[in-house]
Chains A and B, each alone.
Chain A
């Protein structure tokens, strides 16, 4: 069974940093690409970032480019999102999702709250 489990969310002040993790099991992690998607409480969904299976191809949404860094450790079967210079508007549930999206596998999400 495919499982994706996010962790690392929490409360942070504006300008602070957090590192999210997504642990994977039930499939060959190194063969797959991944996305991060976020959802502000009560709002719609926003794609954040993509990483290829080898980590050599990476894309970001304009709203996070230069502040967030996606990475992966295939040996640890883990995906990461380093979030720096956090803003109030980054407050959201963050989901990791296996790519391509037609696979349908998402984690349960982790909540990041940015507030003064």
Chain B
């Protein structure tokens, strides 16, 4: 099984800050890597697909990069509405696996 190691598990930042979250796969996942935002009581919302493609309708302050096994998710200029938990997902091979999640809070 492909293991996804996501860090950090929690993060506190100020409005306007740049925030970075990473996911490392235990093997090459051919860029089949998504980033999701989840708010309490809601289903996950896709922000970035295939490592670096911005989902339609998602603000451009969200971005993704990386290839092979190492991936980065960035929020440029953090906004109050970005408070949520963020997950990565590899869907290169079953069992599809998620990162452990990063809980983002405002300082």
Contact = CB atoms under 8 A, between A and B. Distances in A.
A44 B34 contact: no
A59 B94 contact: yes
A101 B34 contact: yes
Contacts of B44: 45, 95, 106
A47 B93 CA distance: 12
Is the interface on chain B under 10, 10 to 19, 20 to 34, or 35 or more residues?
A: 20 to 34
A47 B43 contact: no
B74 interface: no
A35 interface: yes
Contacts of A95: 43-44
Interface in B83-107: 87, 89, 91, 94-101
A100 B87 contact: no
B46 interface: yes
Contacts of A101: 34, 46, 49, 89, 91, 96
B32 to A, nearest CB: 8
A88 interface: no
B101 A44 contact: yes
A104 B98 contact: no
A44 B46 contact: no
B82 to A, nearest CB: 18
A50 B94 contact: yes
A91 B63 CA distance: 33
A25 interface: no
Interface string A72-116: 000000000000000000000001000011101011110000000
Interface of B: 32, 34, 42-46, 49-50, 53, 55, 87, 89, 91, 94-101
17 contacts: A44-B98, A44-B100, A45-B89, A45-B98, A47-B96, A47-B97, A50-B96, A62-B95, A101-B34, A101-B46, A102-B32, A102-B34, A102-B46, A104-B45, A104-B46, A106-B44, A108-B42
Given A47-B94, A102-B91, 12 more contacts: A44-B87, A45-B87, A46-B98, A47-B95, A47-B97, A59-B94, A101-B91, A101-B96, A102-B53, A104-B45, A104-B49, A107-B43
